[in-house]
Chains A and B, each alone.
Chain A
Amino acid sequence: MTTRDIVFVAVGAVTALSALLSVTTKHVVHAALWLLVSLGSLAGAYLVLGQELVGLVQLLVYVGAIVVLVLFALMLTRAPIGPHAEIDTPAWQRVAGAVLGAATTILLASLLLPLFFGARADLDTAESLTPQVAQAIFGTWVWPFELLSVLLLVALIGAFAVSRLVLTREEAPTVRVTTHPSALADATQPAGERP
């Protein structure tokens, strides 16, 4: 067993343990923070395997995502400190969640484990793989990559359009009936330009 093996096992254990904690904890913010630990140590696992760029991008992308997740967790729930019995999920939901999670795990494991079972990679002579990753994304896989970008862009514009359309429909009558000074000031501006 080399040092690399030991480090990999340690990082993997941290990843798995924090992932487990993030779905079993009863605090929504703790769940997000454990998820951050889990995704961060997954980046560590990539680093141990010599995939520096993938690990760093994992960190860069998911930390920002977790911040947004915490923001939404705080805005959409009451996110109290300490356990609150009245907002706990009922037992049958937890059982259903566990069954669903286990089923997904078994499905993924039965698919992926045979696929990569005997695979070996030489990590000691591994060089920087950044150019290879770039070659693969912008050479071989450039069309799927571009298609995904267009999909994300469409989703973004769609979300924006939906929120704008709802806003203008709701605001139009309120501006006419109210006499509050701030509403009158708003009425002089086009509805679409409100921040």
Chain B
Amino acid sequence: MSDLAPWLEVVLRAAAVLAAFLVLPLLVGQTEHKVMAHMQGRLGPMYAGGFHGWAQLVADGVKFVQKEDITPARADRWVFRLAPFVALIPYLVALAVIPLSPRVVGARVDASVVLVLAVIGVGVVGTLMAGWASANKYSLLGAMRAAAQLVSYELPMVLAVASVALAAGTLSVVGIAEAWTPWWLLWQAPGAVVFLVSALAELQRPPFDMPLADSEIVFGAFTEYTGLRFAFFLLAEYAGIVVLSLLFAVLFLGGWAGPFEGWFGWLWTLLKGFLVAVVVIWLRVSWPRMREDQLQRLAWVWLVPMALLQVAITAVGVVVFP
């Protein structure tokens, strides 16, 4: 792509990232419909689009566009209306720096792993804004739970990522995946578990969906939202699954490492990421929701010490077997 004009290259790359951002979450959403249904002995959507209901989420999107965009009378208008974008855009930025192969990457950034962690953390501000600005007690409760949860789980996540960055000796996601060897599957296993669990918690997916808990607080911070703005929050959740699954695949499963990686590297990354996404869906179907104190206990009593231990193991490994 280097023979194109710089501005054209930037536009093309941005368009490609945007297309991936719009398509991949829908793919994960449809997979969730189908995988959940079959795990529960159902069929899931079967009519929209004809073949096994493939167009169900497109139809959902059309429905959301047609709905009225309501801002509650007592809400803080601007904060309320901005919140969905603050929740959504960080994942778009994160997706731009996650590589599918050394050559298929939206934007080359040197310390890209720090960038991904930094922007993923911004997303929670959107939830907090939504919860406070809605002027609704359920929304506020949900936002407080979300913030408390994300602040707790960000630490083990950053430590798990620090461990692989330490093992690879670089802060670039591409560099980490290039340094990956199958040996890492054992060496970095505790870090991988910590990362997966804290990623689930960051996404507020079951069993970590206390902030949304529909049987207690309606739909948490998103209770007052309708139409497109609500759809943006849902899109943010599924884009989050895409981003964190791909990140897990690249950091802990070697990304494009596999047969014919020169040609099909991007396909390997996508397949591994998809597999992780299916595990995320699987966990939703098979685990009950955790209580708030259980959530905090898991983060501080189990994940943080595990992550610290992983960092220590990695440090010993790096020093002893350089």
Task: Determine whether A67 belongs to the interface, using a CB cutoff of 8 Å to chain B.
Answer: yes
Kindly state whether residue A14 has any CB partner on chain B within 8 Å.
no
A71 touching B118 in the complex, CB below 8 Å, given contacts A29-B132, A79-B132, A130-B111? no
Task: Determine whether the beta carbon of A52 is less than 8 Å from that of B109.
Answer: yes
CA of A130 to CA of B111 in the docked complex: distance in angstroms? 8
Complex-state Cα separation, A53 to B110, whole angstroms: 9
What per-residue 1/0 map shows which CB atoms of B105-142 lie under 8 Å from chain A?
00001110011011101101100110011010000100
Contact-residue bracket for chain B: 20 to 34
The number of chain A residues with a CB under 8 A from chain B is 26
Cβ-defined contact, B154 with A64, below 8 A: yes
Q: Are B125's CB and A71's CB within 8 A?
A: no
* Contact of A195 with B297 in the complex, beta carbons under 8 Å: yes
Q: Tell me which residues across on chain A come within 8 A of B285, comparing CB atoms.
A: none
**In the complex, A70→B148 CA distance in Å?**
11
A67 with B147, Cβ < 8 A, contacts A30-B79, A59-B122 known = yes
B148 and A60: CB pair below 8 A?
Answer: no
Give the Cβ gap from B276 to chain A, nearest Cβ, in Å.
23
- Residues from chain B with a CB closer than 8 A to the CB of A33 are 79, 125, 129
Q: How far is the CA of A29 from the CA of B128 in the complex (A)?
A: 10
Instruction: Check if B297 sits within 8 Å of A59, measured CB to CB.
Output: no
| Among B75, B110, B114, B128, contact of A128 (Cβ-Cβ < 8 Å) | B110
Within 8 A of B (CB), among A54-99: 56-57, 59-60, 63-64, 66-68, 70-71, 74, 79, 81-82
In angstroms, Cα B152 to Cα A40, docked, is: 22
- Give the docked Cα–Cα distance between A79 and B114 (Å): 33
Q: CB-CB < 8 A to A42: which residues of B?
A: none
Most buried by A among B115, B125, B154, B293: B125
Q: When the two chains form their complex, are residues A67 and B118 in contact, meaning their CB atoms are under 8 A apart? A: no
> What residues of B have a CB within 8 angstroms of the CB of A60 in the complex?
114, 117-118, 121, 158
> In terms of DSSP, what is the predominant structure of the interface of chain B?
helix
**B114 and A63: CB pair below 8 A?**
no
Number of A-B contacts (CB under 8 A): 77
Asked whether any CB of chain A lies closer than 8 Å to the CB of B67, the reply is no
**Contact indicator A74/B144 (Cβ below 8 Å):** yes
Main secondary structure of the interface of A (DSSP, over half): helix
Q: What residues of A have a CB within 8 angstroms of the CB of B79 in the complex? A: 29-30, 33
Please give the distance in Å from A45's CB to the nearest CB on chain B. Answer: 15
> Any chain A CB within 8 A of the CB of B283?
no
A74 to B154, CA, bound (A): 21
- A63→B127 CA distance, assembly (Å): 13
Q: Any chain B CB within 8 A of the CB of A36?
A: yes
Contact B114 A56 (CB under 8 A): yes
Q: What is the CB-to-nearest-CB distance from A114 to chain B, in angstroms, rounded to a whole number?
A: 33
Q: Are A81 and B121 in contact (CB under 8 A)?
A: no
B151 within 8 A of A: yes
Question: Residues of B contacting A59 with CB < 8 Å?
Answer: 118-119, 121-122
- Complex contacts, A56 vs chain B, CB 8 Å: 111, 114-115, 118
* A74→B140 contact, CB < 8 A: yes
Q: Which residues of B contact A (CB under 8 A)?
A: 74-76, 79, 109-111, 114-115, 117-119, 121-122, 124-125, 128-129, 132-133, 135, 140, 144, 147-148, 150-151, 154, 158, 171, 293, 296-297
10 A-B interface contacts by CB (under 8 A)? A57-B118, A60-B117, A63-B118, A64-B154, A67-B147, A74-B144, A81-B75, A128-B110, A130-B111, A195-B297
